[in-house]
Amino acid sequence: MSDDIRHPTRLPCGADDSIFKLGSLPIVSIDILLRWKMKVQKMTPAVLLVLMAGFGAASAALAADVAVLRAQATAVFGPLPEAMPGAAGDTSERRALGERLYFDPILSLDRSQSCNTCHRLDAGRGGVDNEATSLGVKGERGGRNAPTVLNAGFQIAQFWDGRAANLTEQAKGPVLNPVEMAMPDEAAVLARLAADAEYPAAFSAAFPNDDAALSYHNMAEAIAAFERTLRSDDRFDDFLGGDDTALTSAELQGLETFINTGCTACHNGPLFGGNSYQKLGLVEPYTASTDPGREALTGNPADRGFFKVPMLRNVALTAPYFHDGKVATLEEAITLMARHQLGRELAQDEIASIAAFLRSLSDTKRGL
């Protein structure tokens, strides 16, 4: 692999197909495989020693290449921080209140939907409903795909167009949105919460210094406090931490392909995105949608078609893809992103390679 961090060469994972053809054998397993071959195939100890010496050198070279790839990945991405912005001020009472509110349909007009309806955390889900667009209490569908709440607090802003500065501001929106939870106004929300047998005391415990603890802002702040706990753990961060067995050889190759293809121009930082805005159809126009993107928010025609770059942590759990939810599979999303954003037509093996790596970004506690 090249020492130039911007232009690595191909990992030698295919140097010996008899070892790497399964695409999942960790480096440390080479000597185990050779001992197995001696036992099963009657290889003599002398031949084994010669082969092990050769494979030892190959293994050392591969380990060095992996170290370079790790250094590059650390520079371009880096691990997820331990805590989201704002988490230092959260108390256990505030987080507990937020969790209850998140799962409680009391916040919707007909008491049929909660935050979890569209951003599912139950049953190991990835913080989404896996629908193209989400169904509201009145049977209407929203205009954009529901993003994941996992790691959301690390992003520069919330919603596809970035119209909410943080998790608290985001939590205020869906409750009053007429297409989503459709509560008529803040007063109606507070009246419903105040009439509950437990919520007034829970708000007082969560916000002990507020004269009016039960407020619409505090409702959203409590939900945000809970959402700040939704930090995922994945094998990629284990790899960055020095675990050479965390990623398979196929996933390591996929990481290198992801970088070499140019995906990191937008998908960078610890979230693999979520930190900038970009035009969808930068090179080849994306004609499947007429959504104006950030232009509707800013009024600036130059922002037409611009959206927040989605984070790729847990991307394998959050299909379908894009702001319109029209892309069904991860492989199709990779194909279209390369075409529309980079002007490239990827080969099937490149697509499969990148997809293999992206699946390593899934929270190890979750999975469909």
Which of 193, 228, 197 is closest to 213 using CA atoms? 193
Active site residue 180: yes
Q: Left, alpha or beta for 283 (phi > 0: left; psi -120 to 50: alpha)? A: alpha
CA-to-CA separations, 282 to 58, 243, 322, 325, 338, in angstroms, rounded = 42, 37, 14, 19, 10
How close are the terminal C-alpha atoms of the chain, in Å? 36
Q: Kindly name the residue from 82, 93, 99, 180 that is annotated as catalytic.
A: 180
Token pair of 251 as six digits:
């996933």
> Alpha-carbon distance 292 to 214, whole Å?
37
Cα–Cα dist 347/353, whole Å: 10
Query: Is residue 68 within 8 Å of residue 3, measured between CB atoms?
Result: yes
Structure tokens belonging to residue 78: 């880096």
Does the bond joining 270 to the residue before it have cis omega, within 30 degrees of 0? no
- Surface-to-core class of residue 297, CB atoms within 10 Å of its CB (0-12 exposed, 13-18 middle, 19+ buried): middle
CA–CA dist 307, 23 (Å, integer): 35
Let me know the angle formed at the C-alpha of 119 by 361 and 222, rounded to the nearest 5 degrees: 105
Q: Kindly tell me the sign of the dihedral angle through the C-alpha atoms of 115, 117, 119, 121.
A: positive
Taking alpha carbons only, the member of 211, 253, 225, 205 closest to residue 9 is: 253
Pairwise CA distance, residues 274 & 171, whole Å = 18
Q: Using CA atoms, how far apart are residues 308 and 251, in angstroms rounded to an integer?
A: 26
> Rg of the chain's alpha carbons, rounded to an integer?
24
Q: Is the Cβ–Cβ distance between 311 and 155 less than 8 Å?
A: yes
Question: Active-site residue numbers?
Answer: 180
